[in-house]
Amino acid sequence: MRADAARNLALVLITGARMLAEDPSASVAAIAAEAGVDRRTVYRRFAGREELLAAVYQARLDGIEEAIRGARFREAPVPVALHRYVEAIVGVNRRWPVELSRMCADPLIRERRNRAVSRVEQFLRRATDEGFLRPGLPTGWAGDILGQLVYLTAREMLELNAAQTADLLVDTFVRGLGTG
């Protein structure tokens, strides 16, 4: 892919993610106009809105999977891995603000999402086993709380960069669910 074509594709996907998060019925023409490209450029790559939306979801999942890999859940100390993950996932949520739950009808996307959720849950069990989180919490509670904190802070704490947001979020999470 030529550099300008790759740049246009990235711009369309990022613009599409933002606009579809704000208005799930945003048209391809509106997304193309906002991205500053001709709608024919978008239609050459995507047959329609649903294909564009699927590509946005794939890009979001790619970002989530990269955040998980980069956190090094199995190798890094729990506090380091948690901070790395949160910082990266805040960035993913800001860049790709669309909700994956709307795309879970697609079995491949649902499988990728479930795999990512499972890896985070395994890490949080490790955090509990190593004494960083309280034992005895309802199954999935820590992951649900972490996810909601990320969702909230990624959208509401825009004056903070991803690292600052991660500092605040991790402190809040560990104070709320931690053992100390």
Give the separation between CA 97 and CA 100, rounded to whole angstroms.
Answer: 9
Averaged pLDDT, 144-159: 89
State which residues form the domain around 25: 1-46
Averaged pLDDT, 63-67: 96
Residue 134 has pLDDT above 90, yes or no: yes
Averaged pLDDT, 129-150: 93
> Across the chain, what does the average pLDDT equal?
90
Could you give the number of structural domains in the chain? 2
Averaged pLDDT, 173-178: 87
Are 22 and 96 contained in the same domain?
A: no
Are 62 and 12 contained in the same domain?
A: no
Residue 128 is classified by DSSP as H
Q: 58: buried, middle or exposed (CB in 10 Å: 19+, 13-18, 0-12)?
A: middle
Residue 101 has pLDDT above 90, yes or no: no
DSSP assignments along 53-108, one per residue: HHHHHHHHHHHHHHHHHHHTTTTS-HHHHHHHHHHHHHHHHHH--S-GGGGTTSHH
Which of 31, 46, 61 is at the close of a domain? 46
Task: Give the per-residue pLDDT at 6.
Answer: 83
Are 102 and 141 contained in the same domain?
A: yes
Averaged pLDDT, 151-168: 89
Residue 178 is classified by DSSP as B
Averaged pLDDT, 53-80: 94
Task: Give the per-residue pLDDT at 100.
Answer: 63
Are 67 and 85 contained in the same domain?
A: yes
